């Protein structure tokens, strides 16, 4: 029997994932509150450009139902992936309002649900968020292990390469405190990914932190080579590109994200770095290195 998947939030991450799963002949219910977006998607037209996205969307559209409502049908699936945005608030901390809104709707309907879905957070969230979500779900007398399962499954997509990264992830992170639900998600991925795919199974807070650590390190790497470029500009006949090339030949370093130029931007690195800085301060740690990276990038 075909597995059924629900994806809530059809932005950069969610739509790429939905299109890929649909192309793999998996039944998908794609949910987004933007009704105009839903109308376009039903015609196979994404509302943003990403290489190969429209091709995979049209390839898999026969297996995808697009809707603007989280109803009983959307919840009667094997997995519910949450891929809504987590922007920063006025205090430059992570804003969970979109996730809270989605979880609140799900929580009210779970008791009457015929299935026990596994709810999977793909959105980028700070450590401890899954514990917070669990409490929200349990407000309506739902119990983990009986009415739902809960996992963290962060993604590592790059703008301009979202479909390729969805099809061929360098690693799949599955975080949660229940080994059976973690195994269930890994088994699902094994059906759509190559046999040599790498998986890391860990607890929820570690999975949540992995995404931030990953992006913070890449941001630091970009800032480092830009600092080297600034030094080289003060030294006659010094070529930072050659320096970066040789550094990249060192297997301990690699040449990725080692090109001097403008500071890092986009929708992820600045936001995630700031969220990690704010989170670190909230738990009593002053992240001086990360603040320096942020300041250097702002000056670049």
Question: Which active-site residues does the annotation give?
Answer: 268
How many beta carbons lie within 10 A of that of residue 262, not counting itself? 9
Chain position carrying tokens 């109803």: 71
Which one, of 279, 217, 280, 283, lies nearest residue 253 by Cα?
Answer: 217
The C-alpha atoms of residue 269 and residue 216 are separated, in whole angstroms, by 7
Only one residue has tokens 């891929």, namely 83
Contacts of 259 (CB under 8 A, 6+ apart): 225, 244
Beta bridge mates, 300: none
108, two tokens = 């009210």
Whether 81 contacts 18, CB under 8 Å: no
User: What three-state secondary structure class fits 72?
Assistant: helix
What distance in Å separates the CA atoms of residue 73 and residue 29, rounded to the nearest whole number?
9
Tally of CB atoms within 10 A around 162 = 23
Q: Which residues contact 8 (CB under 8 A, 6 or more apart)?
A: 14, 31, 32, 70, 74, 80, 81, 82, 83, 84, 102
Give CB contacts under 8 A, 24+ apart, made by 66-69. Answer: 66/10, 66/30, 66/31, 66/32, 66/38, 66/41, 66/42, 67/29, 67/30, 67/31, 67/38, 68/31, 68/32, 68/33, 68/34, 68/35, 68/38, 69/31
């Amino acid at each position: 029997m075909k597995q059924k998947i629900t994806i809530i939030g059809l932005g950069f991450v969610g739509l790429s994932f939905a299109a890929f799963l649909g192309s793999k002949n998996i039944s998908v219910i794609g949910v987004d509150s933007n009704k105009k977006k839903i109308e376009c998607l039903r015609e196979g037209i994404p509302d943003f450009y990403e290489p190969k996205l429209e091709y995979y969307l049209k390839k898999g559209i026969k297996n995808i139902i697009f809707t603007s409502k989280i109803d009983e049908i959307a919840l009667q699936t094997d997995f519910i992936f949450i891929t809504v945005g987590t922007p920063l608030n006025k205090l430059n901390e992570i804003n969970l309002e979109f996730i809270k809104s989605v979880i609140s709707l799900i929580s009210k309907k779970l008791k009457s649900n015929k299935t026990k879905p596994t709810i999977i957070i793909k959105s980028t969230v700070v450590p401890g968020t899954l514990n917070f979500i669990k409490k929200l779900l349990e407000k309506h007398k739902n119990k983990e292990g009986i009415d739902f399962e809960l996992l963290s499954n962060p993604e590592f997509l790059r703008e301009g390469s979202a479909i390729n990264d969805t099809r061929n992830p360098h690693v799949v992170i599955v975080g949660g405190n229940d080994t059976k639900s973690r195994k269930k998600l890994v088994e699902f991925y094994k059906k759509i990914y190559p046999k040599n795919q790498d998986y890391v199974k860990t607890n929820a807070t570690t999975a949540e932190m992995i995404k931030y650590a990953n992006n913070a390190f890449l941001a630091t790497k970009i800032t480092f080579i830009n600092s080297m470029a600034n030094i080289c500009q003060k030294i006659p006949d010094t070529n930072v590109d050659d320096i970066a090339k040789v550094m990249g030949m060192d297997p301990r370093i690699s040449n990725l994200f080692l090109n001097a130029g403008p500071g890092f931007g986009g929708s992820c690195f600045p936001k995630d770095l700031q969220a990690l800085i704010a989170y670190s301060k909230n738990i009593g740690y002053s992240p001086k290195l990360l603040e320096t990276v942020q300041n250097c990038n702002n000056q670049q």
